[in-house]
Structure formats: structure tokens, C-alpha cells
Structure 1
Amino acid sequence: MRKLALTAAQEGIWLGQQLQPDSPMYLAAEYLDIAEGLDVARFRSAWQQTLAQSAALRVCFDEQDNQPYQFVADTSLVVNTSLVANVEDALPVIDLRQENDVEQVAQEWMAQDLQTPIDLRHQPPYRSALLRLSDDRYWWYLCIHHIASDGYSFGLLTQHVVNAYQQSSPVYSKPSVYSKPSVYSKPSVKQTLGDYRELINLDEHYQQSKYRDLDKAFWVEHLERSDFNYQPSMAPGSDYAEQIADRAIRFSKTQPSCWLEQVQSYLTTLVSSDRIAGPAPSWGDVALASVAALYYHKRGVLDIRLGVPVMGRMGSAAVRIPGMVMNICPLLLSLQHEPLFADLVAQASLNMRQSRPHQRYRYEQLRRDLGLVGGEQRLFGPVVNVMPFDRHLRLAEQPVTVHNLSAGPVEDISFAFVQLPQGQVRLDIDANPNNYSLEDLERLASDWQVIAEQAVRNIHYQVPIGMDEMSWADGGELDKKSATVWHQFNEQVSLRPDALALVDGEQQLDYGSLQAKVGTLAHYLSQQGVGPNRIVAIALPRCSDAIISMLATWQCGAAFVCLDPSGPASRNQQIMTDARPVVVIDPLFITRYQASASTHSDAPENGVKCNTALAYLIYTSGSTGKPKGVMVSQQALGEFVQGAVQSYGWQADDRVLQFAPYHFDACIEEIFVTLAVGATLVLRDDQMLESMASFQATCRAWQISVLDLPTAFWHEWVYACCHQGWQIPKDIRCVIIGGEAVQAERVKDWELLLARSPAAQNIALINTYGPSEAAVVATCQRHQFGALDLGRPLPGRQALIVDEHDRWLAKGQSGELVLAGGG
């Protein structure tokens, strides 16, 4: 017995099998459908001849000093699963003729066999059988461990058996292949398979040669860009399964021959254009491009690495030797958004040609070279196999149909394109069932078909992104073209001048009176130099004068920034230095204004002239503790207010509590959504917050119908109501919360409160989210029992998730939230 080293391709498979010794994942299998006329004895003899010539089917494996090795067993010792040389055992016949649904039973028999692992230390690396379906019809089943055979080798072996069978016929006159010549056959009756040991020698020579170093340098140079390391799964959720299943699931779809004709016509047109440099692309390049297009469509990936299985044999003696040689090489494609399909085809063709001399460098080693081992790091995304070999066989003058059952382990998903005898193209999608369902694969096949058929009809076809697949949420259109809040306020003044607009303690102002006070202050401000592109600082406590000052600033065409009168002087000074207001409206300013003789003069008429004009400044704490100013335009504010009106459902007869301090942008929502719908804004006082009982009683006394509260305060209020046995005040019909995550316990308390009072069943609880940069609120969710989250964007707003490189992510993936919209 001569011990032989494992090839680089075999080492990874051996290690994987040892880690999961009871797993059949490395079994590959196919069957040949032999319609009629089979001589079983002759076929068994042909199989025995193939066993004798193919050492790959007679290899045994073991370890010595933790080092794996292999040796080739004598022919007489290797028959199916027995060590007794018996031709019947080498190829048993399983008679299924008495079964009702014979094909289904045969499929189940083969599926069951594929669930039985092969013990590489004690069994030959294959199993085979003839399944007899009728008197004349047989399925020849062949299962081989991947360590001994790749997909190309299946073709060599089956071709050898068929040729040996034909040659044993007394009327043999020609090889069994029809149509064009195959790489599997030669017009010779003395066809033999090459020496298995030569495969091992070729691998050892390559591993020690300069060519390996050159190939490594080529791949590392082309793959070291981190942009390509993001290759999400195509499964729902985009995450990879933690474990490879014992057997992949499969969905197949066949394209009619006219599609391949369209592909050839498309390629002719493409070659005549200026997009192709070098030799013309093949239909295989179109197949590769079609999967890349599908990947982009489903996941929005712009820098794609497909995994492309390659023979690794061309130009060497390995082309005639069965064994495990196949490699998987990355194919890089760089896309723009909505890429031209023609560009994908051109890239696929060019990059495959450039990589062809370097395809022997093992992908397992390349992952280690690039540090892509473990975690979610992937050398490539989907695997795409374009079958380059012609396996159109004939046996006993009848066509033999080859059916692949399993191509071995599938980590995530693979697409195999097989050209059929009549010109059709079959797409087999294999996937890890731990991550995909058959319904998922069917949807992928359907989406691929749409792209593939549309692409080859139009050389200018651009691949669309599948919005339903991406982490994209759209709040929809605004009901009407948004106007500035200033104009929305004045519209309410015109419609309902006598309606109550503002309540501040004993003071009550209708919309007409409020507008008059705004105009008078605006005139005074204009005399102080306030106008377009100016900033006014407002440093007032909660009072009607603060609201009037905000509106008067806009009537002058300026913008405001609110200071915290009780806040640190140093922070206010930093804001003043940064904002550089022309006027500071504080209590002293109001005193001077009220004493001025000009208070009855006409107001300026300019108002807000431009949507892009600044509406207000708001200062956040900033990550460094230094106040950071956020500039919000009139357009952004107007669209927010219009979106909030649509989402919240506030009405003109509502009484909205003005709760938030003016240096928090929650006050913008309370004040201006209220005035935009013609409702009444009720300013709270400090006594209201002395206790939850006081808050509860005041809401009831003031007939508040809308509360806009910080989530933390809502937590305390709901807890108090629930545990004190209070009912929600009867006039409240809408509660807006925001500012932090909602506690699940308080949501349960809220639901208990609603259950206590039938009148409270219709109260809307709306959770909101939005940074100051997004103009107060960007998303909201209406409570419908259960946990509350960020919900969906307001009308006119969109949201998406990106990674650390600003790449758009698919649904289910974690990343950073990006908010979008007008303004």
C-alpha cells in the first residue's frame, strides 16, 4: 500500500467531514434515465471496467500522526458497500416495478440514500445502483463523496461507462455522443481514464511552483478592497445560516430555447457596440451577469463577488482524470445604481478572461490570505455554475437523460445553468434549508426570469433595485403641496379668525387677535433691524409672548433660536456667539416693546418669501458637550407639520397642551401643528407638574384633548394612573410620546387603562422618533396592542438602513438609520 498525500482541494473536505462525521453533506449524486433496451449484465461489466480504471472510486482515507493520507485499494476489494468482490453487489438492481407511483418511490429511495454518510476510513467513496422502474426502464444512480470526485468527474465516469457498454456490443460502430463533440469523449474504442496519482503529482508540483505565488499575488491584489467584503445572503433577513444543512433544497426553472436564441442575438448587438473590449462574451457571461443583476435587485449590493466553480484542469493531464480538482474563484463586478445590464456582461466576460490563468489557487487559502475566516465575512456571495460540458448521451441507440440530484454542500445559495439537448436552459437553484424555503427559491427564480428576459431584449436595459427587498420605508405622499407654517397659520386666520388660538392662564387669544399681536411685534422688530437672513434669539419663559415672538420673527422673514432662561449662562453665551442674533427677546425687551409708542404702527408685509429660508435654529448638546446648532428650513418644517397633521389626526376642535420647554424641539410640534390645523394651544403652568394628581386634574379641568409628552413623563403618568386606579381624562383622544424607548411594562399598563374604560378605547397613542436634524419627528407608530417601535416615516419622509460604508442594506440587517425627505 502506497500512502498518498491529499491534494489541497481534498484537505478542506477531509477536515469538514471530520468536524461533522455523521453528516452526508459532502455527497454528490446524479442519475441517468435509461428509457429502454438496457442489458444489465453488459452494463454491470462496463461499470466494473470503470471501477478498474478509475482509482478515484477506489481511494481509502485514514490518518497517521494526525496527518490524513489516502491510498488506492485493489480493484477486487472495492464494490459498493461490501469488501467482497461480487459483481452484483457492485451494482445492485432495486426492483420498483410493483410500486404504484414508481418515480416518486425511486426519488424517495435516492433521497434516503443521500442521507446516509460514507465512512471514508472503511468504505469506498461511492455508492451505485440500478433502479428498475419498468420492464425496460432503469435509473442508474451514482453517489460519490466530494473528496473523490467533482462535477466534471461525474461526466468522465458516466461517459466511460456508456462508452464501455457500447463497445461491448457486437454491432458497435461509433461513440455514444451525438451532436457536437464533448470533452468527455474521443472517437476511439480504446478510451481510458488517466492515472489518479498524476492528479496528486500535479497538485504537489503546483503548490511548490512559482505559479502558485503569482496566482496568489493576482488574487490578493484584486480582492483586498474591503468594499467587496460585504456580500449578504439572498435569504429573507440577509443573514447567513449558522450551519450548513446535510442536503440542500432545490428549485428548478427551464427557459425555452428561444431565450438562448435571444441571448445570442443580444450578444451580436453587444459586440457591435463599443462596450466590449476583446473577444465576444458567451451565453455563460450573460448567465453570470443575470445572477449579479438579481443580487443587486434583491440586496442593492454594488461591489459584488460571485463564486464561480471552475474545472482547474484545462491544459493539463487532469482533463482525463476523475478526482476532486474543482475550485471556486471569485468574480468581481463593480456596479453603479441601476446599472446597465450590458456593462455587467462586459465585466463578467473581461474578468473571467483575466482570472483564467490564475484559477488553480485554492479559494480556501485565499480566504485565509484575506482574513475572511469566521463571522459574517465572505469571500463571495452567490455561487454561479455555468455548465461548460456537453453531456448528451445515447445508450442502446436511445437518448439518456442526466439528472443531477446533489452537487454537495451549499453554504448559502448557488445557481447552476445547464444547457439542455433541445436548446433550453435549465436553472437549478440550490440553497441551505436552514436559511431558505422552497417558496423563497421560487420567488428568486421568478425574479431572475423577469430580469433575464427583459435584459436580453434591450441592450439599454437598466437593472432596477427591488424596493420591497431593501431596508426602505416610505411614508407616502403629502396630501397637498406643503406650504410654510407661516402661510398655514395665516390660512387659519382667514378661515376662522374668531376661533380660540392660544390660552395662557387667564389670557385667551383668538386667531384674529393673535395675528394682530404678531403683526404689531413684527413692526417693532423690523425697526430693530430684523429681516431676511437674520436671527432672533428668544429668551422667555413659557408664555404667550414667546409664541407671538416666534410668529413675528417669521413675518419679518427672519429665523429664531430659543434659549433656556433658567439654563447655564455659559451655554446660552455659546449659542449667542454661534448664532449671532440681531435681537434678543427677553422680558426686558418685552417691557421696552410694550412701552414703545410704535406699537400701533402697521406690520411689515414681507413675511416668509422662500421655502429654503431658515425657519429656526435648535441647539443640541453635541457629543463633546458643546452646543451644536441645527438649521431647519421653512420647507423642512412645513413638510413635517403637514406630515404630522396627516399622521396624528389633530382637528380644529382639539385643545393641545403645550408642555415642552422652548429650547427643545418638541415645542415646535406642539405649537405649529396646533396652529396649522386651527386648534387651540393651551400653555401649561408650573403648578401642573407639582404632582401626577395635579397633572391629571388640570388636564381634566382644562379639557385637554391632545397630550404631547416626553416618553419618560408618560411612563410616570401611566404608572400612576394604573396603580392609583385613575381613569384617563375623558376629553383626551390623542397622546403623542417620544424622546426615548418605550418600556414594555408601561405599554401593558396603558392597555390595562384602556380596558378599564370603554370610553378610552379610541384614544390614539402614537410613538414618535426623530433627531433635531430631521425637523422634530421623522417616524411614528400608532399603538395597536403590543410593543411600540419606531414605526414608519411620516408622509413626505423616507428611512433606510446603511452600513458603516454607507451601503444600503436589505431588510433584516443591522446598520445605521438614514432619514430622507424634502427640505
Structure 2
Amino acid sequence: RPRPAIQTHHGSTYTLVLPSMLHDKLNELSRKEGATLFMTLLAAYQSFLSRYTGQEDILVGSPIANRNYREIEGLIGFFVNTLVYRANLSGRPTFQDVLYQVRQKALKAYEYQDIPFEKIVEVVQPERSTSHSPIFQTMFILQNMKQELPVLSSRSIEMIESYSPIAKFDLSVMAAETEEGLLFTFEYNKDLFNATTIERMAGHFEKWLHEVSHRPQNPLHDLSMLSEPERNLLLETWNDTVMEMSHQGLICDRFEEQVAMRPDAIAIVDQTKQWTYGELDIQANQLANVLQRKGVAPESVVGVYLPRSAELMASLLGILKAGGAYVVLDPLYPKSRLEYMIEDAGIQFVVTAEGQEGHFAHVEMVRLEELTVESVIAPTRQINPENLAYIVYTSGSTGKPKGVMVEYRSLMNMVSWHQEVYRISAEDRATQIAGVAFDSAVQEIWPYLTAGAALYLSTEELRINPEALRDWLIDSRITASFAPTPILERLLKLSWPDKTDLRFIITGGDQLTQYPSNDIPFAVINQYGPSENTVVTTDCYVPVGVTTGTPSIGRPIANTEVYVLDSHLQLVPIGVIGDLYIGGKSLARGYANRPDLTKEKFIPHPFKSGERLYYTGDKASYLSDGNLQFHGRIDDQVKIRGFRIELGEIEAVLQAHSSVKEAVVLVREDYQGDKRLVAYVVGEGSVREWREYLQTHLPNYMVPTNFIEMEFLPLTPNGKLDLKALPILSEQSAKNTVYPRNPLEELIASVWSQVLGIGDIGVQDSFFELGGHSLLATQVVSRLQEVFQIKLPVRELFEYSTVEALSKRMDQLRKGSEKREIPPLVPMERGNNIPLSYGQQRLWFIDQFAPNSALYNMPMVCRLKG
């Protein structure tokens, strides 16, 4: 679960008893490796946490009796201290390696067990947050001292287990040696973990203990924590997607079947005209005949340089009828990008029309206006499922786009699945809204033109105007539509009539961050899928009326497999985040002219010999019901001041605010080169309002430093957010200093300045970002309490860590506190000598160096000339 802004301690427990044979095996391993049972269990727990979290630097706290001096052995009192054990699990360590490391560090820690944990926190000065404890958030305890009850002649004594519903840390694992075996108690924070999650984790831990005790010499990544039923669930049950499609044949075959059955039915409607299936077929056949005569054949790649129009649809169909594969060259793209795509794909012919500016070197332009005398009869073609159908270009890490080559068999698997699952028929009216060069356009076009449906083409104006797009969908009586995620989220914020012809809107391209409300009159289908798996990999209907969390991305589509694996290609348990891999019939051939990249991304299938998996670079986890939860890109997880942060989590919370229409959060560098979170927001509220809202829902380190108000978020031609078009921080905006605006803010800033030893403190600067820590926080609170005569707990400064926030909190405390009656002054007898205050002592000392000076009687000095 998302971590609350302020740490809670609502706890519960789960108990696990290990079989005595496993207990004996762990003791045997401890003796063999020269370690105590505590060291062995601690090493197992730290290596288990590493596999569970994917992190290599693991810190665990553990209490120690701290009675290592003979003088205090007989004393009654509390001498317990907390030690922190840090394990480095990088590389390919075996459990023996980890145990040796833990043993050495434990022995070293025992030498310095007198150092209080609070002193370590003071010296290390970790980033502080009210959302969790410092340095470590999980504890491990072993109770291996037998507790013998005293025997009384006339009374019996019985041990009663006590339970306190308080979790001191996120997760504490307490082990105890009993007659029944090794007993583990998992004490967990209910606001962070579900009971089912802990129960599942306990089962994984038991399996892990079995693995490390029986195979300690094996690399950790070779060991499994999954039971056989869970392994089968992840490998087989949830990937049982085999589906025999009722429709056979390739794109052109199915389209021509519709032409024969309904030649006068509407096929295409654009902003200026509409074509029937018969008219569309004629246009496509004329182009196909020309292209075949010019030498286009299977595996030939032909470009199309046309905007969204009926002519574009005819051109795509004509290229396929000729036996070739198409590449859409969007006129909205820069010419340099288009020229690269033409060269990279080996394009010799580009289909275009009059009115389209542009000329490309080394290719022949085929103009549609010149085809009127061509035959309208479809040419013969020799195409098989392994032939190339199209190439779609996506952004590449090198700065150059990469071409994804999709074969007919992959395309037909997606088309057939779409038609059967969503029950597409000739009665449907669908839309083409996505960018024409975007892979989602493939799903918008072919499942509908091969089913006899009517395809309505959007305009660029409709794409950027949600109200107009809604009205167009209603007036055109659209039944099925796709909308890129940013566009859909705008549509969901609008009011809709109670009934429309619209059955569903599919969305994809970005992470969906909101659920539809109960009054939306159509279903929302959330899809996930990279171009490398032919548009769609998983899908699900999004439930309505949900107010927390983000929608899942569903389950794999027909004849598709998904796996969530760790860095060593091992299955991760349910609920654990890992890397998402895809297999099945929809996989693309690879990348055009990039065999090295194809080999890197399309790897041998670790579970099926002779097959492939595609490495997506996305993070995901399985939910307990088999649906997948998307967790962003591998490179979307950022680290700010030592904290790992998911930008999508901040965006989801920010977009839940009623005044926010759209928001995106990025990491930017300020003028000093420091990383900071920047929120770009489209909305009607104020920056102060948004900041305060986030402060009540997120830890301070996840609240953006800067908020930039936008009229709209820029989109790429494909309908995705154009992150490069967002403004960067200038030096002035990066400083973004707002100085105190009232006496209370001025006083707080003054106290901070004195304690921190710096000047120019803005009201939105964080005390801890400026170098503050717990000891300095105590000084600040002490001074403020002295001045205002109010009770101000130190934790308030952690929660309200800016001058602005603390000022408002103190104002509330002042107004809410009862007026104190000041007792009257009473004359008191004085002795001969009255102790000086510290301030008086300082003044007396200064007077000794400059006797009779009137300096401290002068409030100000004015120099007069004349």
C-alpha cells in the first residue's frame, strides 16, 4: 500500500511455526559455518528481503541486551540498545558468502554495542521523514533464552501470551525457539500491508529458509521462494491464453469478404467525404496494381506520406494488397525524422497526394491523383503469415527512432482477438483518433475494416478539444472508440448524457491514473502493450466509482504470455515488483537493421525451449486475482536525497485534487545542479492549495519543490505527453524564493536562520533540505515555544517542515489554546547577591573590554553630514 504521510502504528501479527526438521537443519548449518543461529536467521532474512525488494543494500535493526559488563549483570534495569546490520548483496553471492559477511559485521557490531542508536542517527544524519523511522524500517529478533517458570508449592504459574495492536516498525520478525520448533511472529503495520500479503510472505520466507539451509553453496538467484502451486499459477494458469480464432485469412482476404457482402455499406467517413466499401476497394486496387508493376512484392516496404484521411486508409490497404509492408510517414513529424525513417526502412516508394508539401531524396513519389486510369481489379498476391505487414517507429535511447517490424501472423492474432472479445460487427461505428503513425492506429483500423464496420476519422482540432470530441462521439453515434490516455482522462472529467450509443472507449499509451465515475455512460477498457507485441498485451474493463489507487492493466490477451521476473530471470512472488516480459504469437520480428538491439530485447525464453520473450523495460506486479499492476518504466523510478520515488504515485495523488485537470511530475536540475521534483499542472487551483494537499497525502520528500502552471500539457502527434516540450527550470524559477509575508513567518524564518546559520530563507524552503536535523529541530521548537508560550511537539516540525506550513500550524495552536491568566507580580525579598542571567553575564563581560560604552543603549545610529 502507499506509505501514509505520517507514520502510523496500527499493527497486527501473523504466526508461523517451522517444522522441527528445518529447525535442526538451520542449527546444523550454523555450527558448520561457525555462526550462531541468530546470524544464520538474520542472513536469511536480509537475503530474503533483497530478493523481495530487488535491492542490494539491506539494513535491518535488532535489539541487544547490552549487558556485556560484569558490574551490571546483577542490576535491575533496561540496558537494551538497537544495533543496525547492513548487508551488501550485490554480485552473485551464495548464502555462505552472505552468512560470512553477516557474521563478521555482527561481531564488529557487538564490539560497539554501547553506542546508543540515537547517537548513530545524530552522526549519520539520514534524511528524516514523518512517514517512517530513520535508517531502518524492519527489525529482526531471536529469543533463544529458555524462560523457566518458578515452581511454587501452593500456586501454579502459567505463561500467557500478550498482544498489543501496535507495530513499532513497518515489519518486525520475531523468532523464538520452542519445544514445537522455531516460532516466527510477523508484526506488521496494517496501513502498509494486507493480512493476505503477510501470510503469503511468511510462506515465501519458510520456503527460503528451506532453500538456504539445503543449498547454501548455490548462488542466491538460483534459489526459489515459490511453492509449486504458486509457481504453476504464475507459469501456467495465468498464462493459459490459447484461443482458436473463428476468423481465418489475412487482412486483405477479410476486407474483400466484406466488400463482397456489403459493397454499399459505409467504410470511411472523414471531415469532407465518406466512402463505401466498394469505393474504398477500388481506390486500394488501383494503387496495388501500380505498386506491383513497380516491383513491390512481399517484404518490400512502402511509405505513406498523408494526413489522417480516407486516402490514407486506401493507401495502407493498397500497399497490403500489393503484397508489401507499409510505414506511415506522418506529415506532422520533422522532415529530418522522416528522412531517417525512409533510409532506415529501405523505402523506395512513397505514396502521397497533391497538396502535401515535401520531397524526399532517393525515393519515387507515387501520387494518388495519377491512378485514375489504373485497373480496379485486385491484383493477385502471394503473402504468407510470416511476411512483413508494417513497420512502426518508436523513440530510441540513442536519439534515433527504431523501427519495429510486425508480421502478418502477429497482426492477425491481435485483430482476431479484438473482434471476438469486443464483439465487433458490421453494425459498429468506430473511430480513428490516435496519431496515424502511432501503433494504436493499427488497432483502430484493421479490426473494424475487416468486420464491415464504419470508421470515422477524427481531426486534429477534435483531439485537443475534449468538449468537441465528446459531442462528435455522441452526434456521430459512435459505438466503439479508442482514445490515448491523456485524451480519455480529459473526457472522463466532462458531463455526459445518461445514454449514448457508445459501448466502450479503449485507452492506452500512458498509465491510467483515474477510475471512471458512476455516471459515465460507457465502459472504459484499459490496455497495455508495447509496439514490439503488436499494440496490445493485456487488457481489462476498469471498474467505476473507485476512489483510491490506480487501475490495473489486466491480464494477457489471447495467445499471449506475460511474466514478472527478477534481474536473474526468476519468477517473483505475487505482489512483488519485477521486470515485465512478454511472449506468445503477437511478438514482432524485431528491429529494422538493428540485430544487436533485437538480440538484446528479444531473449531466449527461459521456460520454453525455442521460443522468445520480449524485455519491456517496464515494472509490474501480480495482484492476487491474476491482474497485473503497472509500476512505470525502469527509469521512471528516481532517487531524490536518498529516497526512492515513483513519479507516477505523486501524479496520481495530485490528479485526485478536484481543481487539477492534468498533471505530470518530472525530475529537473536546478541552477546549482541539484535534483528536484517539478510538477506541471493544468488546473484552476493555486500552487499553495496543491502543495498543502500533497503535504497531507504524501511524505515531505515526495512533495514537488516547484509547481509550474500550464494552460495545457503538450502532446506528441501520437497522443502521448511530449515531455521534451515542457519548460525547464530557469535560474530564477529554480530559486523560486518567496520571502516571509507576515510577522509570524518573519519570526520563524529568523529563528531558522539563527539555528541553521544561513540567510535568505523562503517560506517554501524545507527545514531539513536546508541542513536541519533532529537536534537542530529541538532547538527551533524550544525557541518558538519560549516566544509564543505554546506547546509545540518536535514532530510538528517534521510534519510542517516549511516556514509557510509551520506558520499556519502555529497560528492554529495559538488560536486553539486557552488564554492563560498571568498571575500578578508579587514583591519578593532579595538577598545581597542576585545571580545574573546569561544575557546579563554576556553584557558584563563585554563591558570589561569597553568600559562605560553607551553602545547597548543605542537602538540605531544615523550619520549626519552638512
Query: Counterparts in 2 of 1:266-415, with a 5 A limit?
Result: 268=28, 279-280=33-34, 283-288=37-42, 291-292=45-46, 295=49, 299=53, 301=55, 303-312=57-66, 323-332=78-87, 334=89, 343-344=94-95, 347-348=98-99, 350-361=101-112, 362=115, 363-367=117-121, 370-375=124-129, 379-396=135-152, 410-415=168-173
1:429 aligns with 2:186: yes
**1:539–1:563 contact (8 Å) kept in structure 2:** yes
Task: State the Cα distance separating 1:671 from its structure 2 match.
Answer: 0.6
Measured at CA, do residues 704 and 456 of structure 1 come closer, stay the same or move farther in structure 2, by a change above 3 Å? Answer: same
Q: Mapping of 1:464-613 within 5 angstroms?
A: 464=226, 478-480=241-243, 487=250, 490=253, 493=256, 497-499=260-262, 502-503=267-268, 505=273, 507-509=275-277, 521-522=287-288, 524-531=290-297, 534-554=300-320, 558-565=324-331, 572-573=338-339, 575-576=341-342, 579=345, 581-587=347-353, 589-591=366-368, 594=371, 602-610=379-387, 613=388
Change in Cα spacing, 1:557 to 1:260, as seen in structure 2 (3 Å) is farther
The residue correspondences of 1:672-711 to structure 2 (distance < 5 A) are 672-675=446-449, 678-684=451-457, 704-709=478-483
In 2: Cα distance, 1:424 partner to 1:482 partner: 55
Paired residue type of 2:519: E
1:509-541 per-residue CA deviation (whole Å, 9 max, x = no partner) reads 26xx97787576445434435456553210234
- RCO (CA 8 Å, sep 6+): is it higher in 1 or 2? 1
* Letter paired with 1:651: S
Residue 391 (structure 2) pairs with residue 616 (structure 1): yes
Q: CA deviation at 1:418?
A: 1.8
Mapped to 2, the partners of 1:727 and 1:701 lie a distance apart of: 14
SS of the aligned residue for 1:792 comes to coil
CA contact (8 A) 2:167 2:188 kept: no
Q: CA deviation at 1:605?
A: 0.9
- Whether 2:626 is the aligned partner of 1:816: answer no
Cα distance, 1:401 vs structure 2: 6.3
Q: Which amino acid aligns with 1:764?
A: A
CA contact (8 A) 1:332 1:351 kept: yes
Contact preservation (8 Å) 1:254, 1:427: yes
8 Å CA contact 1:616–1:633 kept in 2: the answer is yes
Tell me what 1:263 maps to: 23
Aligned residue for 2:850?
A: none
User: Structure 1: how far apart are the matches of 2:82 and 2:472?
Assistant: 76
Instruction: Mark the CA change 1:317 to 1:660 in structure 2 (over 3 Å): closer, same or farther.
Output: same
How far apart, CA to CA, are the structure 2 residues paired with 1:283 and 1:430?
21
> In 2, are the aligned partners of 1:657 and 1:704 still within 8 Å (CA)?
yes
Does structure 2 retain, via aligned residues, the 8 Å contact 1:241–1:434? no
2:3 corresponds to? 239
Matched-pair contact (CA < 8 Å) for 1:553–1:560: yes
Contact 1:522–1:604 (CA under 8 A) maintained in structure 2: no
User: What SS does the aligned partner of 1:707 have?
Assistant: strand
Deviations 1:726-751 (A, max 9, x none): 7756x54334456789898x966x82
- Structure 1 residues 478 and 520 mapped into 2: Cα distance closer, same or farther (>3 Å)? farther
Paired position in structure 2 for 1:751: 519
Q: Secondary structure at the match of 1:751?
A: coil
2:736 aligns with: none
The whole-number CA distance in structure 1 between the counterparts of 2:22 and 2:578 is 37
For residues 651-670 of structure 1, what are the structure 2 equivalents within 5 Å?
Answer: 651-660=425-434, 662-670=436-444
SS at match of 1:239: coil
How far is the alpha carbon of 1:416 from its aligned partner? 1.9
The CA deviation at 1:330 is: 0.9
Q: How far is 1:248 from its partner?
A: 6.3
Query: How has the CA–CA distance of structure 1 residues 404 and 344 changed in structure 2, closer, same or farther, with 3 Å as cutoff?
Result: farther
Q: Distance in 2 between matches of 1:709 and 1:325?
A: 60
Give me the whole-angstrom Cα distance separating, in 1, the residues matched to 2:512 and 2:11: 42
Q: TM-score, normalised by structure 2?
A: 0.49
Q: Structure 1 residue 352: deviation in Å?
A: 1.8
Q: Between Structure 1 and Structure 2, how many residues are aligned?
A: 543
Give the conservation status (yes or no) of the 8 Å contact 2:351–2:367.
yes
TM-score (norm 1): 0.51
How far has the Cα of 1:790 moved from its partner? Answer: 4.7
Give 1:415 shift. 1.8
Structure-2 separation of matches of 1:426 and 1:698:
65
How far does the alpha carbon of each residue in 1:368-416 deviate from its partner, in whole angstroms, 9 at most, with x for none?
5555341368534431112243443543589976667589982333222
Local SS of the residue matching 2:184: strand
- Show the counterpart of 1:96: none
Q: Distance in 2 between matches of 1:631 and 1:528?
A: 25
8 Å Cα contact 2:26-2:37 kept in structure 1: no
* Structure 2 letter corresponding to 1:615: Y
Could you tell me whether the CA contact under 8 Å between 1:554 and 1:608 is conserved in 2? no
CA contact (8 A) 1:538 1:584 kept: yes
- Supply the distance in 2 between the matched residues of 1:413 and 1:696 (Cα, whole angstroms): 48
Partner AA of 1:650 in structure 2:
I
The unaligned stretches of length 5 or more in structure 1 are 1-236, 755-762
Q: Deviation of residue 584 (structure 1)?
A: 0.6
Gaps of 5+ in 2: 355-365, 565-576, 580-616, 636-866
Counterpart AA for 1:502: A
User: Judging changes above 3 Å, is the alpha-carbon distance between structure 1 residues 787 and 770 closer, same or farther for their aligned structure 2 residues?
Assistant: farther
5 Å matches for 1:61-76? Answer: none
The one-letter code matched in structure 2 to 1:490 is D
Alignment of 1:160-199 (within 5 A): none
Q: Which amino acid aligns with 2:253?
A: N
Task: List aligned pairs for 1:772-783, cutoff 5 A.
Answer: 775-776=534-535, 782=541
SS of 2:277 mapped into structure 1:
strand
Letter in structure 1 aligned against 2:480: V
Q: Counterparts of 2:198 and 2:435 in 1: how far apart (Å)?
A: 54
Query: 1:441: how far off?
Result: 6.0
Q: Secondary structure at the match of 2:291?
A: helix
The alignment partner of 2:446 has SS state of: helix
Structure 1 residue aligned with 2:685: none
Cα 1:486–1:809 shift into 2, 3 Å: same
SS at match of 2:312: helix
Corresponding residue of 2:553: 792
Q: Which moved more, 1:651-660 or 1:733-742?
A: 733-742
User: For the residues of structure 2 that align with 1:285 and 1:365, how far apart are their CA atoms?
Assistant: 24
**Which residue, 633, 645, 660 being the options, matches 2:406?**
633
Instruction: Name the amino acid aligned to 2:329.
Output: L
Cα distance in 1 between the residues matched to 2:123 and 2:288: 70
Give, in whole Å, the separation in 2 of the partners of 1:550 and 1:286.
65
